[in-house]
């Protein structure tokens, strides 16, 4: 199968599996400039599926970098509110959301952490109304990836740029099940396996998860009435979508005040162009009270100061160490991929949909159940082949869930 055929298949999967696009829907898409070939194919498949309109907003890494190198100091508290207000209105009117990822993971690594923090905070505040439609699954949404040269060279630094890009494409196609005979059918089978996992966990009703291993002894209490999710999800508009292409996780909402212990990251976190490596934090009563990192520590600490909920958890996810992405042995420096190679937690905003009957609950009831609130939602990886995980039911008698990173259920 040639490259063009695989790229077209990825576009088809993005529309049919990722979005589950319904005829008559609008699509709002964001993409880096380098992803123009994939964005055009997705647009074509979306119209074939009956989209009424596809609107794409392109980002340019070099323009972003120019802002940090040349912008006035006072400008970093500015964000395009008008753009995000428009997106929120589109989602409120039923538009689907598709993002193509592929930016340079280390674009802002050499920039002033204060500028990066201010710009990220301003953007997060402005984006909140649009983001709420996504995190609450009011709409069908999804993320796919494009192998940009800057990203590829970071993943494969010893290869030529051309070889690095092709190697990254091979990894993307494999992780996204594009190289299988029928990718859509392969996704249906994979979703069924993930659904079996979440059904088991929902039946067990664990009160907490306990992670143990090198540098880690962490108890994550789960939100009252939590529900596990994973694979394809039915959005509140009735459309079944796969929010992440690829995905290997089952996940739920922790209790914002019931996380205790210490944990060490097992993969780097690429956040808004900054690489944060070897994160080590300590929780007390749900909040991070001590945080360190080998690189990017100042950015990490500024992230934790974003708001009151930034130092608490909004998600916990389980991924077997033998997942295809983990078995590839590739460190992607991209959360969409690296989070699907390892169990992970997320700082910040909780997914309301992971609390039973959340549609009928008030904001105060959601908070009482343990749902965290924040402008951010940042996943980082804590799982590996050395980590054990126990489920703790109401009886308090821990049950093995994972040993050496693998399911034992």
Q: What is the pLDDT of residues 165-198, one digit of tens each?
A: 999 999 999 999 999 999 999 999 999 999 999 9
Output the furthest CA–CA distance in the chain (Å, rounded): 59
Residue 192 lies in a domain: no
pLDDT at 273 over 80: no
Give the model's pLDDT for residue 350: 95
Mean pLDDT, the chain, whole residue set: 95
| Number of domains the chain is built from | 2
Whether 240 is in a domain gets the answer no
Task: Specify burial of residue 20 (Cβ count, 10 A radius: 0-12, 13-18, 19+).
Answer: buried
> For residue 302, what are its two tokens?
């500024």
CATH number, domain containing residue 108: 3.40.1830.10
**Do 278 and 352 share a structural domain?**
yes
Tell me the pTM: 0.88
Domain edge (last residue) among 160, 175, 190: 175
Same domain, 139 and 255: no
State the DSSP code for 322: T
Average pLDDT over residues 246-257: 97
DSSP state of 22: P
> In terms of domains, do 346 and 257 share one?
yes
Residues 128-158: pLDDT tens digits?
A: 999 989 988 999 999 999 999 999 999 999 9
pLDDT at position 191 is 96
Q: 168 and 213 share a domain?
A: no
- Contact partners, residue 309, CB within 8 Å, separation at least 6: 256, 348, 349, 372, 373, 374
pLDDT at 106: 86
Give yes or no: residues 117 and 222 share one domain. no
The helix/strand/coil state of 258 is strand
Whether 135 maps to a domain, the answer reads yes
Closest by Cα among 152, 149, 176 to 7: 176
Domain containing residue 127: 3-175
Q: Are residues 280 and 369 in the same domain?
A: yes
Residue 34, domain member (yes or no): yes
Report whether 33 contacts 56 (CB < 8 A).
Answer: no
Q: What is the mean pLDDT of residues 247-261?
A: 97
In a domain, 198, yes or no: no
**Does 40 share its domain with 159?**
yes
Burial class (CB in 10 A: 0-12, 13-18, 19+), 174: middle
> Average pLDDT in the 236-247 region?
95
Nearest to 330 by CA among 342, 314, 319: 342
Residue 272: pLDDT band (50, 70, 90) is confident
Q: 166 and 224: one domain?
A: no
Mean pLDDT value across residues 66-78: 96
- Tens digits of residue pLDDT in 91-107: 999 999 999 999 998 89
Residue 56's pLDDT band (boundaries 50, 70, 90)?
very high
């Amino acid at each position: 199968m040639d490259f063009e055929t695989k790229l077209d298949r990825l576009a088809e999967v993005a529309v049919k599996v990722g979005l589950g696009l319904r005829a008559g829907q609008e699509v709002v898409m964001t993409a880096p400039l380098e992803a123009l070939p994939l964005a055009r194919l997705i647009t074509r498949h979306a119209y074939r599926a009956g989209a009424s309109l596809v609107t794409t907003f392109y980002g340019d890494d070099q323009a972003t970098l120019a802002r940090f190198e040349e912008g006035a100091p006072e400008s970093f508290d500015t964000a395009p509110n008008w753009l995000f207000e428009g997106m929120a209105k589109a989602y409120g009117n039923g538009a689907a959301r598709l993002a193509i990822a592929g930016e340079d993971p280390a674009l802002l690594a050499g920039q002033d952490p204060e500028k990066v923090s201010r710009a990220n905070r301003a953007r997060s505040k402005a984006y909140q109304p649009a983001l709420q439609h996504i995190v609450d699954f009011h709409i069908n949404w999804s993320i796919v990836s494009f192998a940009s040269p800057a990203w590829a060279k970071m993943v494969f630094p010893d290869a030529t740029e051309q070889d690095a890009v092709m190697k990254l494409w091979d990894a993307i196609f494999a992780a996204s099940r594009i190289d299988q005979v029928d990718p859509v059918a392969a996704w249906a089978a994979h979703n069924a396996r993930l659904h079996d996992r979440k059904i088991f966990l929902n039946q067990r009703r664990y009160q907490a998860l306990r992670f143990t291993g090198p540098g880690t002894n962490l108890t994550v209490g789960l939100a009252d009435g939590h529900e596990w999710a994973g694979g394809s999800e039915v959005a509140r508009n009735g459309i079944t979508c796969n929010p992440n292409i690829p995905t290997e996780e089952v996940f739920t909402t922790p209790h914002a005040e019931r996380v205790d212990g210490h944990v060490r990251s097992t993969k780097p976190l690429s956040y808004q162009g900054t690489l944060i490596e070897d994160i080590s934090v300590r929780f007390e009563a749900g909040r991070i009270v001590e945080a360190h990192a080998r690189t990017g520590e100042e950015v990490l600490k500024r992230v934790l100061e974003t708001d009151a909920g930034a130092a608490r958890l909004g998600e916990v996810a389980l991924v077997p160490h033998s997942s295809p992405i983990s078995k590839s042995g590739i460190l992607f420096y991209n959360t969409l991929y690296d989070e699907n190679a390892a169990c992970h937690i997320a700082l910040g905003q909780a997914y309301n949909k992971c609390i039973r009957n959340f549609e009928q609950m008030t904001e105060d009831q959601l908070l009482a159940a343990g749902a965290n609130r924040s402008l951010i939602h940042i996943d980082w990886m804590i799982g590996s082949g050395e980590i054990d995980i126990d489920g703790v039911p109401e009886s308090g008698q821990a049950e093995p869930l994972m040993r050496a990173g693998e399911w034992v259920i």
